[in-house]
Amino acid sequence: MKASLTNESSTTERTRWLAPLLLLLVAGCPTDPPKPAENVYAPMGEPLPTATVEQLATFERGQAVANRRFAPTEGLGPTFNVTACGACHEKPVLGGSAGHYRDFLLVGQTFEDGSRVELGVNGVMDQFSLETGRERTPEGANHFATRNPIPFFGVGLIAELSDEVILANADPDDADGDGISGRANFERGFVARFGRKSQTLSIEGFLRGPLFNHLGITTDPLPAELAAQLPVPVEIDETLGTGRDALTVGRRSDAQATIPPGVRTTDDDGVPDPELSVEDLFDLVSWAMLLAPPEPEELTPQTEAGRELFRSANCSGCHVESLEGPRGLIFPYSDFLVHDMGPDLADGIFMLDASGDEFRTQPLWGVAPVGPYLHDGRADTLEEAILLHGGEAQASRDAFAALGPEDRGRVVAFLESLGGRDQHSAGLLPPGAVVPEPGAYGGPLRALDATEADAYVAGRAVFDRDFPIHEGLGPSFNGDSCRACHFDPVIGGAGPADVDVTRHGNDVDGVFSLPLIGTTMGHRHANGSVRPVFDDECNVVERRQTPTTLGLGVIDTIPDAAILANEDPDDLDGDGIRGHAHAMGDGRIGRFGWKGNVPSVLEFVRDALSNEMGVTLPAQAGQTFGVGADMDDIADPEVDVDTIEALTFFIAMQAPPPRTRTDMAMETAGETHFEALGCATCHRALEDAEGMPVALYSDLLLHDVQAEGFLGIEDDGAGTREFRTPPLWGLATSAPYMHDGRAETVEGAIAAHAGEAAASVAAYEALDATARAELVAFLRSL
Amino acid sequence: MKRFLPLLLLALACPGPATDTTWDPAFDATSVGWLLSTFSPDGDVRYAVGGTPDAGVVYSDVTGDWAPVDTGLATPLLNWVFGFGPDDLWVVGNAGTIVHHDGASWATVDSGTTEDLWGIWGSGPTDLWAVGGSGFDDAIATLLHYDGAAWTSMELPELARPNVHALFKVWGSGPDDVFIVGQRGTLLRWNGSTLTEELVGTSEDLISVWGTGPDRVAVVGGRSNGIVVTWNGTEWHRESVSPLPGLNGVWMGDPDVIHAVGVDFVTATLDFETLAWTEDDITLPSGGRKAFHAVFGDAAGRLTTVGGNFASAGTTGTYEGIAYERELDD
């Protein structure tokens, strides 16, 4: 039988653990204080040292699932924010957080009674739509809230904590008068502990929900027999334990298997559900549960002083230093309760019992390398994060603010000592990342002298560095670094579908007009939870894949004359191909970008900094791209010429994607087909200023290869249907293909050609399977 | 009712032993499918309805023991039962199913809809309401009215709340005071001539409603944590009653006492004014997690609750029911 529990007795329940303790003290029986858990730390991204051989195997498989990029034919969509789990959990390594460019929006409709209905996909505003390019804001939406991805390190140890251990720190009515009144957020009767509002109890649920909401990937719950084998096992308690009054681990783990009822987890994208197998889901959940927290550093005089200041300011009132789990004491520096953080941080989002101004105490183990901080990433540094605390933390915040710079530094140093500092990166490049050999992926195009090598490393660091809001990121932006979009397969490379740029405009009877806000839409907003402006009147929305920047410097050396030599706008030779250069109004010839609208690497840098990152630039002689002023509060220009030049040098000096030959015979045969089919008419080599061939496989001209009825964006000299012939070097590492990523494979990309390429496509389709395979082998070798 | 009258008189006359408020199994319902609703029109015979998605069942204790009733009908899952006497019982179910029992036979009645119907209540034999809608994107929140002759679809007002595709339950204190609850915090009131949407401070699903009068109405819901909303004749009051999980069923006999049941065997008693709650004692069964879906107190002083393995049936393919009872102590 299950004994009664009341809401009036539940406070007593929460503190009943004190009773035996007091008894022991009174009786004078010494007991060993709980000891720190052993073998629980590892570098971020690595498994718990206690993982068994079997668990290590599932950890590796789960890691692969977390990194797996889903394509539409594998279930991605119909709407999505990202294509892989790892897209949002990558900093400093897989399993972590992400920069501002992975911020996402919650969306809903709030009513006059204060209630709020979730809109979008279970409350998530997806950016991309496979059908319409940009997912439209749901009708009635009047409330957005920004979220920055949350790290997973140590979640298995957190899952092991009993409800009672968490409830022991609850003080919902502030009975002790310290101004801190944290309370648990319950889910189905158990203490939830994951998410910005402690709104989730189950790691499985914490993965299945985002898989569906952000990727459109459907899953079935783990069957009981598999769930029982998880690293934090879901024990199916046949008697259902002793009930809610006991709040036992057995009961809690029983509920961990599921996500809350009523949450939609099926879609209608034409791919059979579930789109992720239960075996893959098991591996993914196991991987997350096994991710170890980083080991805190030994205290130094500086960090010990910082810890004392941390304590004296009562930061530890919420960031509770240790909690006792089944392995002993763990040190997450969180009580996992929700607290009122004041009106400035309030987001108006209700999650279970957590109100609009309540947030979970964020764990601080491994905090150093997982910024930006706070639920919406508004703080780029730990000091900013502390100073933005309010509500129940106001007194602690004020105590910190009253410290001198040195003491503040000690507090921050202490926080940084809580593990992971050695993995901190200004972007995603690990500390001390080696520059690959000349000519290799990520390496320079030639051997560099010492000065050039330093400049290459410095430029790469700028390319990789997450650009903070307080330095001018935004107000709207797509990436918070160059690397945010260009990282496939190495920094500087291409980007997957989830970093697409989106353009929009109006096409009325073939006449294109620009929206007043320009064709480029930022996906994210740096200041406040709003969706960047979109002109709802626009009838053309175009996603643009991120092309590689590898080899741009080589392309930059190709003389205009070499490009113009292949023009044939009136098809005088009668081959059906009418390429023309993108002639800019000032006489320059464009050569970069899907519309061939950018004339040089320097202009490319200026264009991307302003249009994709929202960064304002100083004027440079002869340069016309980029903007000098924006609407944020940061003084313009937000970067200096040195930054621009550092980026320009790095990009210009990157080697083109190296050719990787694996089957010479097949590839040679494929090249023959490539030329015979007429592909090489557009996808050709050009000569540089020295007359040396540049095997970029592009004429850098604009062509119409679109199907009948296509509506696109006009860009000065490039018509709505025209796109620059994309270089094919590095093709194998730059999927998906075509300007909007409509083709997942090389074969699909060939078939997606039309217009001027129709004859080549028809010839390709006439090839037998062997010849097609040879052609693809050749293309993939480039 | 008659067979319990001496007991009731005895109970009133003598202090007697304390009421046993521990919930115990009413019968082994493991193999009958889900049980979704229980009702007794007179305190004599109790009914319970449910089944599987493809086959509805009606159970009753008319013989003294709970046993299936041969309705002679093939219906999908049956979701709710209500009536005015043993010869005027109504049952609603999936795919627009409405069944009437006249005391002698059971017959399906044209509902005019194919939407799943979740709830039915009426102030009298010529004034019944039925509500439904599957809750999914392509479903229509459905409200039907019966005037003694036929069921007709009622037009809903334009709802402020978006994406409402289901109404779950209906109850009223009279023909001019009807409360309808549904998905995403939806609450509608009928004053005899007009349906009006009211915002009651939550967007959680409101799953069931019951009351004792125009100033004593309790609504329960919540899919994760339990939500209770009360109407005292003047204003709505909304409260989360966590750590109690989601609540599915509610019944009131005493105007100051709310009986609520829900997820993970929750059976709770709440004070109407303060919403202070006590989770009732219950003898838990084996066989995994189940939820109660409905609770009803009858004139014989029995409180009955029914439910099933709603969360796990989809993956296990088995539909198991539960039926519990205890004495009323209101």
The minimal CB distance from A117 to the residues B161, B246, B276 is found for B161
What are the chain B neighbours of A220 within 8 Å (beta carbons)? 315
Residue B16 φ/ψ region, left for φ over 0, alpha for ψ in the -120 to 50 degree band, beta for the rest: left
Does residue B7 register a pLDDT over 50?
no
Q: Specify the 3-state DSSP secondary structure of A609.
A: helix
What does the pLDDT read at residue A251?
37
Residue of B nearest to A117 (CA): B203
Burial B124-161 (b: 16+ CB within 10 A, else e): eeebbbbbbbbbeeebbbbbbbbeeeebeebebeeebb
Cβ contact, residue pair A240, B184, below 8 Å: no
Q: Specify the 3-state DSSP secondary structure of B168.
A: strand
Does B244 contact chain A (CB < 8 Å)? yes
The band of A680, judged by pLDDT with boundaries at 50, 70 and 90, is very high
Does B210 contact chain A (CB < 8 Å)? no
Closest by alpha carbon to A752, among A717, A710, A700? Answer: A710
- What is the ipTM, given to two decimal places? 0.88
Does residue A258 register a pLDDT over 60?
no
Distance to chain A for B295, nearest Cα, Å? 18
What does the pLDDT read at residue B329?
81
The band of A533, judged by pLDDT with boundaries at 50, 70 and 90, is confident
Residue of B nearest to A237 (CA): B288
- Calculate mean pLDDT across residues A241-270: 46
What does the pLDDT read at residue A8?
53
What does the pLDDT read at residue A3?
44
The minimal CB distance from B243 to the residues A115, A240, A244 is found for A244
Does residue A476 register a pLDDT over 70?
yes
Q: What percent of chain A has pLDDT over 70?
A: 92
What are the chain B neighbours of A238 within 8 Å (beta carbons)? 286-288
DSSP E strand boundaries for A232-308: none
Query: pLDDT by residue (tens digit) across B211-228?
Result: 999 999 999 999 889 999
A226-240, B178-192, B286-300, range with the lowest pLDDT: A226-240
The minimal CB distance from B225 to the residues A221, A240, A352 is found for A352
What does the pLDDT read at residue A30?
58
Closest by alpha carbon to A743, among A72, A128, A216? Answer: A72
What are the chain A neighbours of B265 within 8 Å (beta carbons)? 2, 240, 243
Cβ contact, residue pair B281, A3, below 8 Å: yes
Distance to chain A for B291, nearest Cα, Å? 11
**Residue from B265, B267, B279, B329 to probe the interface with A (highest A Cβ count within 10 Å):** B279
The band of A241, judged by pLDDT with boundaries at 50, 70 and 90, is very low
What does the pLDDT read at residue A202?
87
**Does residue A509 contact residue A555 with C-beta atoms inside 8 Å?**
no
Does residue A50 register a pLDDT over 60?
yes
Cβ contact, residue pair B242, A262, below 8 Å: no
- Which part of chain A has CATH 1.10.760.10? 301-422
The band of B17, judged by pLDDT with boundaries at 50, 70 and 90, is low
What are the chain B neighbours of A139 within 8 Å (beta carbons)? 162
Residue of B nearest to A222 (CA): B315
Does B224 contact chain A (CB < 8 Å)? yes
Distance to chain A for B106, nearest Cα, Å? 34
Q: Partners of A520 in the beta sheet? A: A503
What are the chain A neighbours of B22 within 8 Å (beta carbons)? 1
Distance to chain B for A6, nearest Cα, Å? 4
**Does residue A74 contact residue A213 with C-beta atoms inside 8 Å?**
no
What are the chain B neighbours of A117 within 8 Å (beta carbons)? 161-163, 184-185, 203
Cβ contact, residue pair A238, B287, below 8 Å: yes
Does B189 contact chain A (CB < 8 Å)? no
DSSP E strand boundaries for A288-362: 323-325, 328-330, 338-340, 358-360
Q: Partners of A544 in the beta sheet? A: A501
What does the pLDDT read at residue A264?
55
Does residue A597 register a pLDDT over 70?
yes
pTM for this model (two decimals): 0.91
CA distance B66 to A110: 47
What does the pLDDT read at residue B6?
41
CATH of A301-422, one of 3.40.250.10, 1.10.760.10, 3.40.50.970, 1.10.600.10: 1.10.760.10
First-to-final CA distance of chain B = 18
Cβ contact, residue pair A261, B160, below 8 Å: no
Distance to chain B for A252, nearest Cα, Å? 12
The band of B18, judged by pLDDT with boundaries at 50, 70 and 90, is low
Does B55 contact chain A (CB < 8 Å)? no
Computed over every residue of chain B, the mean pLDDT equals 92
CA distance B243 to A14: 12
What does the pLDDT read at residue A10?
43
The minimal CB distance from A4 to the residues B224, B276, B279 is found for B279
Does B219 contact chain A (CB < 8 Å)? no
Does B21 contact chain A (CB < 8 Å)? no
Cβ contact, residue pair A188, B225, below 8 Å: yes
Closest by alpha carbon to B251, among B46, B20, B87, B104? Answer: B46
Does residue B285 register a pLDDT over 90?
no
Query: pLDDT by residue (tens digit) across A346-369?
Result: 999 999 999 999 999 999 999 999
**Does residue A326 contact residue A37 with C-beta atoms inside 8 Å?**
no
Does B317 contact chain A (CB < 8 Å)? no
Query: pLDDT by residue (tens digit) across A544-571?
Result: 999 999 999 999 999 999 999 999 999 9
Does B271 contact chain A (CB < 8 Å)? no
The minimal CB distance from B199 to the residues A113, A236, A261 is found for A113
Does residue A541 register a pLDDT over 60?
yes
What does the pLDDT read at residue A189?
83
Distance to chain B for A244, nearest Cα, Å? 8
CA distance B20 to B200: 35
What does the pLDDT read at residue A249?
29
The band of A250, judged by pLDDT with boundaries at 50, 70 and 90, is very low
Cβ contact, residue pair B280, A189, below 8 Å: no
Computed over every residue of chain A, the mean pLDDT equals 90
Does B163 contact chain A (CB < 8 Å)? yes
Cβ contact, residue pair B311, A352, below 8 Å: no
Q: What percent of chain B has pLDDT over 90?
A: 82
Q: Chain A to chain B, count of Cβ pairs less than 8 Å apart? A: 124
Return the amino acid letter for A544.
R
Does residue B1 register a pLDDT over 70?
no
The minimal CB distance from A262 to the residues B199, B202, B223 is found for B223
A200-214, A501-515, B9-23, B274-288, range with the lowest pLDDT: B9-23
- Calculate mean pLDDT across residues B40-47: 95
**Residue from A115, A122, A204, A235 to probe the interface with B (highest B Cβ count within 10 Å):** A115
Does B160 contact chain A (CB < 8 Å)? yes
Query: pLDDT by residue (tens digit) across B289-322?
Result: 789 999 999 999 999 999 998 877 766 778 999 9
CA distance B130 to A163: 42
